[in-house]
Amino acid sequence: MNRESYNKIAEIWAEHRHSSFVSQIIVDFAEKLSLNAKVLDIGCGTGMPVAGYLASKGLLVTGIDFAEKMIEIAQSQQIPQTQFLVSDFFDFETKETFDGILAWDSFFHFPKEKQAMIYPKVARLLNSGGYLLFTHGDDDGEHTNPMMGEEFYYSAILKEDIIQLLEANGCEVIDMIKDYREKDTHRGLVVLAQKK
Ligand SMILES: C[S@@+](CC[C@H](N)C(=O)[O-])C[C@H]1O[C@@H](n2cnc3c(N)ncnc32)[C@H](O)[C@@H]1O
């Protein structure tokens, strides 16, 4: 459902998202990484403002997203230091590992039964000492909601389970903010973790 819905709203999404601000949390995440550090942006959407911001800070960004139209728009901007690939996170294969992984507003779209599979995969893709930053839903469960005239699926697991999954996969939670509000935005949970 989500892939089809994002393909349908890709242009309106870009129009809206490309003029939105970069969260201070993403600014702080970028500051933790050195010049030319490699970053994986999971569910990168149309590439702006997030991947574009990371690249402007001298990071090498690989953005993946399963919605072809979102990636088409991301690629069309020819942002230096970025590559954008069409891929479902769960099918994504690479020999590369990353110094930072970001999933801004994407994990909450993953199927509930696959939520626990995120963490071993992300931990494998992350270098030791590397950072993982992601947003997450605040309520255990799943639901659908309309956005921009289309229907979207959302899911989340308990924050205690996220902590346990991160630790079981060699990652330490550095910060976990519930009900994060910034300007006119609200996110149920924002998590920063580091691979040991
Ligand atoms: C709310 S948008 C966020 C986009 C971008 N991170 C941003 O901040 O503008 C969620 C994105 O996640 C992508 N997505 C959802 N499930 C995915 C999956 N299983 N694999 C890859 N991308 C996915 C959607 O296509 C969509 O572009």
6 CB under 6 A from ligand 1? Answer: yes
Nearest ligand 1 atom, CA 70: 27
Those residues whose C-beta lies under 8 Å from the C-beta of residue 104, and which sit 6 or more positions away, are 23, 26, 41, 43, 50, 133, 134, 135
> How far is Cα 25 from Cα 150, in angstroms, rounded to an integer?
29
Superfamily of the domain at 2-195: Vaccinia Virus protein VP39 (3.40.50.150)
> How far is Cα 41 from Cα 49, in angstroms, rounded to an integer?
12
Q: What per-residue confidence (pLDDT) applies to 138?
A: 86
Nearest ligand 1 atom, CA 88: 20
Q: What is the mean pLDDT of each run of 10 residues along the chain (196 residues)?
A: 97 97 98 98 98 98 98 97 98 97 98 98 98 95 96 97 98 97 97 98
110 CB under 6 A from ligand 1? Answer: yes
Sign of the dihedral defined by the CA atoms of residues 7, 11, 12, 15, in that order: positive
Q: Which of 61, 65, 155 to mutate to test the pocket of ligand 1 (most atoms within 8 A of CB)?
A: 65
Distance 44 CA to ligand 1 centre (A): 6
> How far is Cα 79 from Cα 64, in angstroms, rounded to an integer?
15
List the beta bridge partners of residue 39: 61, 100
CA neighbor of 96 nearest in space, from 156, 14, 40: 40
69 CB under 6 A from ligand 1? Answer: no
Q: What per-residue confidence (pLDDT) applies to 139?
A: 86
67 CB under 6 A from ligand 1? Answer: yes
Q: What per-residue confidence (pLDDT) applies to 175?
A: 97
Q: What per-residue confidence (pLDDT) applies to 163?
A: 97
Q: By alpha-carbon position, which residue is closest to atom 23 of ligand 1?
A: 43
119 CB under 6 A from ligand 1? Answer: no
Cα R_g (the chain), whole angstroms: 15
Burial 84-117 (b: 16+ CB within 10 A, else e): bebbebeeeeeeeebbbbbbbebbbbbeeeebee
69 near 10, Cβ under 8 Å?
yes
* Locus of tokens 């459902």: 1
Distance 47 CA to ligand 1 centre (A): 10
Domain limits of the chain? 2-195
Q: What per-residue confidence (pLDDT) applies to 99?
A: 98
Distance 72 CA to ligand 1 centre (A): 14
Q: By alpha-carbon position, which residue is closest to atom 25 of ligand 1?
A: 67
Distance 110 CA to ligand 1 centre (A): 9
